Amino acid sequence: MFAVVEERKETLPEDSYTTSLFTHEKGENAVLEKLGEETTELVLAAKDDDREELAHEAADIVYHLLVLLSMKEMTLDDLRAELAERFEHQSN
């Protein structure tokens, strides 16, 4: 999925929601707002034990997080390194 986000950032195909996030003047704010909105929806789905909605909202969060990482010129390797460092600290 991250490769698709990166490709759309490069090629900016028309009629792409991802393209709209990279080209809109409020792109970063829009992504941040969506992360907040989707997080609230994820919490509510979890509270209601709605597995289908939980999966849907989790996917929305992951997608918008990947867009944000791309906007900030971060890679999945950056994320993996941070997670690995945290795991190392917890293992000690």
Residues of the chain with pLDDT > 70, as a percent, come to 98
- Cβ–Cβ under 8 Å, residues 31 and 67: yes
Of the CATH numbers 1.10.287.1080, 3.40.50.2300, 3.30.420.40, 3.40.50.11540, which one belongs to the domain with range 2-91?
1.10.287.1080
What integer pLDDT is reported at residue 19 of this predicted model?
93
Average pLDDT over residues 24-35: 90
Amino acid identity, residue 35?
L
Q: How confident is the model at residue 44 (pLDDT cuts 50, 70, 90)?
A: very high
In whole angstroms, give the CA distance from residue 46 to residue 61.
14
